[in-house]
Structure 1
Amino acid sequence: MVPALALVARRRAPLTVAWTTTAVAVLVWLVEQAAPGTLLRADADHTLRPPVWWPPTAPLAAYAVMAFPRDGARPVWIRALPVVVLLVPVGAIGDVLPVTALRRFSAQETDSVEALVFRSAAAVIGAALIGMYVAARRRVLQALTDRAERAERERHLLAERARAEERARLAAEMHDVVAHRVTLMVLQAGALRVRAPDEPTRAAAEELRGTGCQALEELRDVVGLLRRDTSGAPAEGPGAAPGPLPDLSALIAESAAVGVPVEFAEHGDPPHASPAVGRTAYRVVQEALTNARKHAPGATVHVDVRYGTGGVTLTVRNAARSREPDADLAASGSGMGLAGLRERVELIGGTFAAGPHLDGFRVEASLPAYVPVAGS
């Protein structure tokens, strides 16, 4: 009964279970050596009661101690020690069996004391060997799994490193080439504004200069984002100061002016955010409204903006189109608008989702309020 109950803990404490089973077998052997017939008795027909003197749970205990080594387990020879000790009383079965039972075994043609000893030892040793095989197979599978996970992590790190190097190269190219050219354009527009002979030319030059300055600001933010450490830690260097998010009402009014019915709703108080976040929010709504105008003419568009202390969530969804879209208008553009938005949103640490919704289409973006950028 004790060895059977001990098997409940064979996975948590296999060595303890094995020693418990061995102790019971040794105790029976010692008791029979000291007082024969106390535990093993032969009936009138010379049959042995019980028919198996060693604990029948011994093979299970031998299997468990070899198959379930715990983390930081002892060496194999220590775990095999209770199995070896158990084989001693099993092999000495002839010393404790009643004489009448031995005579009955000897009189049978198909059985003998030696056969009983062999079967008992084979059951214990076989169970221990099977346990060793199971443990070795488990270790091999774990090693293969660890190797595959390590290779996957290494591939991921190599890909991240290549991506970081490419981003650094792009940032350098944008800073050294594009920013230089745009700066020259701004300076030339400023010079034209001063030297222009008439007011319309001066106004056009001022507008061109202002657009160039805005382009430089956006370029500075993009370069700073590209130079950020891939772990997301802020890079050293000053960044643009946070400010209010852009007013989307003008953008909504522009869409309504070209025949796109828009329902606009804002929730919460707009937080101060990095300029890159504000421009990204503006581009998300602008691109979503443009797509609705091109692919779902006549459909009502719902723009929902939810502000929070940690950022802003933008949701733009449109119902089913009420008429067929213009083929030329729908085919215009590069076809990479949503993909570009996703990259832009993920670049500042946000999330982006776009796809069919009910009978229409939905674009949703969650943006953080503050994005650290590297100084350019």
Structure 2
Amino acid sequence: MDYAIALLFVLVDTTTTLLGASWWPQRPDTLAWVVLGAQALACSSLVARRLAPLMVLFVLGGFTLAVTLLIWPAGALIPAEPGNVWAPWATIAAAYGPLYYRRDRRGVAIVALVALTLVVARVWQPAFMIITIGVLRTVAGPLLALYVDARRRLVRALTERAERAERERHLLAERARAEERARLAGEMHDVVTHRVSLMVLQAGALGITARDEQTRKAAEELRIAGCQALDELRDLVGILRATPEGDTMPSASDFATLIAESTSVGTPARLVEEGDRSLASPLVARTAYRIVREALTNVRKHAPGAQVTVRVEYGEAQVRLSVRNTPSAGPIAGPAADELAATGSGLGIAGLRSRVEIVHGTLRAGPTPDGGFCLRATLPAFVPTGDLAV
């Protein structure tokens, strides 16, 4: 991107200079062509506008000052249009960088921008049009940088607020589920267990007071069955009151667990992550987790012994996910593998595609030229509504 921007300004400034919109003389000599080459080199410094924005600003400001000194007072260059602004158009992009990419040194950046403005506007030669155009040319970049920076911080704040609201909704739902489970456990304990206990006691009393052997035997069997039911109910109440292990919500940090599980059962897998995990909202992270889990399951069913590469790229706008596997390893494939493959419903990819479309993403799956298979999904880094279910 930076190379394209630098090339664009090199072409724009070279073209406008040759057309007489800048300092180009009516009869160019060797010095003019040398200065034109120096201008192209100065504009090409925009390739470093992110890494060294102040350096780019100094380079273009120094070039503008050098051209100004060659024209006035040295008189070595005589522009065809003395009323033009002599600074390259690339100064707009150069003035953008210091305030946006070096927010830690804004004081130095402001001083450098003021100095650049004085050089571009040629305040020592007061001319309303030159000063106006020069100031606008150097101010446009910083204003754009401040706007983009403010918008970026606003979007980040809104994203964090939405994610916090989603986490709060999840916690409220978990609390409601826990309360409902506790209520059910209490109901079972107070009602069902009480009634079954009465049945056991009555069956025991009947077994003692019954006169014939058949009635006593039936009563004993009923008592034993009731005791077993009480034991099972006690276990069930304990389960309802406990929090199941499966209630934990998956996230991007659980990818490594999926990879380790796949490798342990004979399907070697490798995880490659690029970018910052925090860029993906919890909803998108859970969707990505389920995609990887389903893809690894399909590999174990349909390509046993294949090697799998899971690649996740986290960006500010999108999360790109791919699961690629090599062809099935011949010695491992066989009747057992065919039997495992037959257990699938054939709707795994369709289900994943539906899940991805819910969060406004896209999914593609198909064979690769080497005989393997590749699944690719593109998800938005953040889904505005927190009411989507996954």
Q: Smaller-chain TM-score range?
A: 0.3 to 0.5
TM-score (norm 1): 0.47
Larger radius of gyration: 1
Choose between structure 1 and 2: higher helix proportion: 2
